[in-house]
Structure 1
Amino acid sequence: MLIFLRLCLASMSMELRHLRCFLAIVDEGTITGAARRLHLTQPVVSRTLGQIERHLGVRLIDRSTHHLALTPAGEAFARRAAVALSAADAAFDPEQLRAWPLRLGYAWSALGPHTADLLRQWDSAHPDTPLRLLRFVDVVDALTKGDLDLALIRGDRVPSALHVELVGQEQRYAAVPSDSDLAGRAGLTLGELARETIAITPVSGSTTPQLWPSDARPTEIVSTRDTEDWLATIASGHAVGVTSAATSSLHTFPGVTFVPLTDAPALPVRVAWTDPPPHPAVEDLATLVRAIIGSADPP
């Protein structure tokens, strides 16, 4: 909401229609497509874009090619505009007048076995602010578009455009086919897994080949779309995987066994949000997440 105020209330010449028009251009990739989507004429869309650029004093879109391209300033403004418009839509949503939900996004396992504790403690301390857990394949993208207020991020992906805080660490586990020899082990090493085909989910997963030493990385990698695809690939015997303790405790899947990794570094868990926070309770939730993960058994 603060972003919305900065963008729209700082100058009465800028209105929500300017944000909608700009984001339509970004989504469609052309003035013509944006005009068609908004039921406007091309000159009106071009004029609106020009008004925004003159107001900001920067070029937002490179018009030198047939397919419009965002400038660096345009990319930054697109993120801010998406969050601002989402906040404005929420402000005018009659369904949200009684309460302003706080949206926490995650890609795989929320807080694992501590998810119920998070929900109960939040509800007890903040009964007037409902907490919604939302799953996205790409939580960073959802956050920058304004679809989330706060995101849980596992691994080393730390977006520079967001406010990011480390809240804890989790042990890593191997996910292996239940009928394989690996499933009966009390523990496994990265070296043992490197001999196998490794299933990786590039967008939402926390594992990359860089987890292994440079001279001992797996040679066979298979990409999967999401959690279910990853689990099914392993259950079928086509690959093994590496994941967090939260996944091993929350996702049971026929044919998949989770075994602790004895030599893998702990998996960092972070919370991220846009700056300034899109919801006044964001920092309170970050504090609670940190407290719950911090009170868990260390990896």
Structure 2
Amino acid sequence: MSIGRSGQSAGRGIEVRHLRAFLAVADEGNVTRAAARLRLTQPAVSRTLAALEQHLGIRLVDRSTHHLVLTPEGVAFRDKAAAAVAAFDTALDPGGLRHWPLRLGHAWSAFGPYTTPLLRRWQELYPQTPLELLRIDDRTAGLTRGEVDAALLRGPVEAPGLVTEVLFEEDRVAAVAADGPLADRTALRLTDLAGETVVLNTVSGTTTADLWPASARPTATLTVANTDDWLTAIAAGRGVGVSAASTAGMHPHTGVAYRPLLDAPPVPVLLARRDGPGHPALPNLVALAREVVGRDAGDG
């Protein structure tokens, strides 16, 4: 497929490979990784990207930093390139499933108790399209940056340009030091934690001081950037935490005890995707996620 400017021959125009190279660089933020993904050499990808920019007459990628970022023009062109490539692939693949992976991001705890059933069922139904589960410490698990095709998120998401669907809700649990006095309790309430330092994962977590009533806010907070640091701080006795119930199963820690939190509201678990053309297998993922949750709820 060649996309030529007026007055140019098709051979001198832009082909789908140019768009694929640009999208790979946009996703990876690095020419070397983009080349590995495309199974090309780094110089080949650089030349292809430069040819695309020259043809368009605009700079798509800012090369002034080690981690490449898109220029405003590159951000605007990205959706157009993705739509063009998706249309081309759909024409060649009427079944609607690409043979390269569908990337599913999560910040922590994935799909909770439904993670394994989802992955196994996907493998049974769509073996030709691998489903890659990627943990990315980001509020949208890399979705707004284009690092994944869809994401499993928890709590309200304010990022523009996303389509979200609540699949189920999780109870909250308290996370306390396993050798501390709160671990001796079978269940806890928010007021039991208010006198402690509360560890907050502000990058990907859902808990803020607003979870507590205004009259009983925590006396102190400690901010961390990911789940690993959150667990380490709690195990070291530096504070307590609040999370969704699936964290207890997905992130067990010998130094952390999880206890039911009786008076905290549940956490919605969302499946999110960008509002626009995307991986053709996304509708299959949405349908299967609904099926797995619905079937297990019915069995329960």
Check whether TM > 0.5.
Answer: yes
Matching residue of 1:127: 127
Deviation, 1:125, is 1.7
Determine if the alignment matches structure 1 residue 184 to structure 2 residue 187: no
Distance 1:228 1:146 in 2: 24
Determine if the alignment matches structure 1 residue 80 to structure 2 residue 69: no
Matches of residues 203-214 of structure 1 in structure 2 within 5 Å? 203-214=203-214
Matching residue of 1:254: 254
Distance 2:145 2:162 in 1: 12
Matching residue of 2:170: 170
Deviation, 1:293, is 3.2
Matching residue of 2:148: 148
Matching residue of 1:293: 293
Task: Give per-residue Cα distances to partners, 1:11-50, cap 9 Å, x unaligned.
Answer: 79778879959x89xx8xxxxxxxxxx989xxx99x9699
Matching residue of 1:266: 266
Any unmatched runs of 5+ in structure 2? Answer: 30-44, 61-69, 91-96
Matching residue of 1:221: 221
Any unmatched runs of 5+ in structure 1? Answer: 28-37, 54-59, 61-69, 92-96
Structure 2 residue matching 1:142: 3-state secondary structure: coil
Give the TM-score, by structure 2 length: 0.70
CA gap of 1:136–1:242, structure 2 versus 1, over 3 A, is: same
CA gap of 1:177–1:277, structure 2 versus 1, over 3 A, is: farther
Distance 2:245 2:102 in 1: 25
CA gap of 1:277–1:84, structure 2 versus 1, over 3 A, is: closer
Give the aligned CA root-mean-square deviation in angstroms: 4.0
Distance 1:164 1:229 in 2: 28
Distance 1:127 1:256 in 2: 38
Between the two proteins, the alignment pairs up a number of residues equal to 256
Matching residue of 2:275: 275
Give the TM-score, by structure 1 length: 0.70
Distance 1:86 1:135 in 2: 26
CA gap of 1:39–1:127, structure 2 versus 1, over 3 A, is: closer
Matching residue of 2:138: 138
Which deviates more, 121-130 or 166-175?
Answer: 121-130
Matches of residues 11-90 of structure 1 in structure 2 within 5 Å? 51-52=57-58, 77=76, 80=79
Distance 1:191 1:172 in 2: 14
Letter in 1 for 2:79: R
Say if 1:196 and 1:218, in contact at 8 Å, map to a contact too: yes
Distance 1:86 1:230 in 2: 40
Matching residue of 1:195: 195
CA gap of 1:139–1:224, structure 2 versus 1, over 3 A, is: closer
Deviation, 1:9, is 5.7
Distance 1:292 1:119 in 2: 10
